Amino acid sequence: MDINFACIIRRCIVNRLSDRIQSRKYPLLVGYIAIAISTFFFLFGRSPAIIVIARVFQGLSGAIVGVLSFAIVADTASPEKRGQYMAFLSASFTWGMIMGPVLGGLLFDNFGIYGAFVVPISLLVCDIILRSLMIEKRNHDSEVCGQDQAEEAPLLSTQGSTGNELHLRNFVDTRFIAAIVTETTISSILSAFESTLPLFTMETYDWSSTNSGLLFLGISLPSLLSIPMAKYCRSWDRRRTVAIELILAFFPLSALRLVEMPSSSHQVSFVAFVTCVGLFMTTSQAQVMAEVSDAVRQIEAKEGIDSRKKSGMGTGYAFCNVAIALGQFLGPIVAGYARLGLGWGGMTLILGGISGFVGLVSLFVNV
């Protein structure tokens, strides 16, 4: 994902508009329409100018959908189920990024360029129809609460004026910043792996591109465990759990420096270590998504904001989206320079050190 000022500006505009408009539904529909326009240009574009326009619409749609999808889940889910719903959403993003290139390549090989676009176009049509029929629970809750206004008015008045809204300065909050830094760290490590693992396996183990690609299943499959973890481990302290996972990730990340021989035992150990890294990274990422919403709700309560009227969730997940983009930008750069200067062992040790350090700091901050 590109990380530049235009990317950040798009997300800031989207989050401010989505928080001011009392509906997530219609901005999200605009995002899906932008995806449809982008897909149309990619399918029929035959010049560089058309491809650039398609990329612009793709970036716009990514900013809208990436921010609002998490905000809608946060608005809809109850606090006890928020972690589980975020785990579903995080896993769906992970598997979408995996299955997209695989399915697209298979369709292109068998049916050509037009056949490759059949699935995305079909999914877009279904998405637009379903989003048109979507009923926003947040608005419905407001109507229900309006019936009991006499009972709730004293409670709301003790927290402050509900006509206020959150400003960017309100997000300078220890809990929120810790979640954003953690998300950037996780995204950086996963992106670093995406850029270095295929080259390492081809050079060291003489693996084919297919085998190297299948290795990413070891990173992605553990993401499915985040769903039962979020469901059955609600009593755990989410922030402390994520911090411990980052600390534990130091060990398999550092151990990857010990498998640089092309022997069978080293290859088996390599796959096991990569799977452990995937387990700690993907399951903690799902919990961080839920932690962002909890942090925003805490900020709203502290500032006396009625989340049914002036929610700051869009802004919160815009920051989260930028953190992911920043990680995807920094991860390959750090990993690339580290491997060129220090070799594979030095690179994995640095990644492990970053994970362990952020985990330790987060653990003490969240005590």
Which has more pLDDT, 299 or 131? 299
Which has more pLDDT, 114 or 246? 246
pLDDT tens profile 168-196: 788 888 889 999 999 999 989 988 988 88
Tokens encoding 23: 């509906």
Confidence of residue 140 (pLDDT cuts 50, 70, 90): very low
Confidence of residue 115 (pLDDT cuts 50, 70, 90): confident
Domains detected in the chain: 5-158+174-365 (1.20.1250.20)
The pLDDT of residue 63 is above 90: no
Q: Residue 54 and residue 57: Cα distance in Å, rounded? A: 5
Confidence of residue 160 (pLDDT cuts 50, 70, 90): very low
Angle at alpha carbon of residue 250, lines to 245 and 256, rounded to 5°: 130
Question: Which helix (H) or strand (E) covers residue 185, if one does?
Answer: helix 174-204
Q: Residue 253 and residue 276: Cα distance in Å, rounded? A: 9
Residue count (the chain): 367
Q: Give this prediction's pTM.
A: 0.73
Of the listed ranges 137-151, 174-188, 319-333, the one predicted with least confidence = 137-151
Whose CA is closest to 131, among 32, 40, 36? 32
Name the burial class of residue 154, with classes exposed (0-12), middle (13-18) and buried (19+) by CB atoms within 10 angstroms of its CB: exposed
Please give the torsion angle defined by the CA atoms of residues 311, 314, 320 and 323, in that order, rounded to the nearest 10 degrees: -130
pLDDT tens profile 1-30: 444 444 554 555 555 555 555 567 777 888
Tokens encoding 80: 């006890």
The predicted structure's pLDDT at residue 141: 43
SS3 235: coil
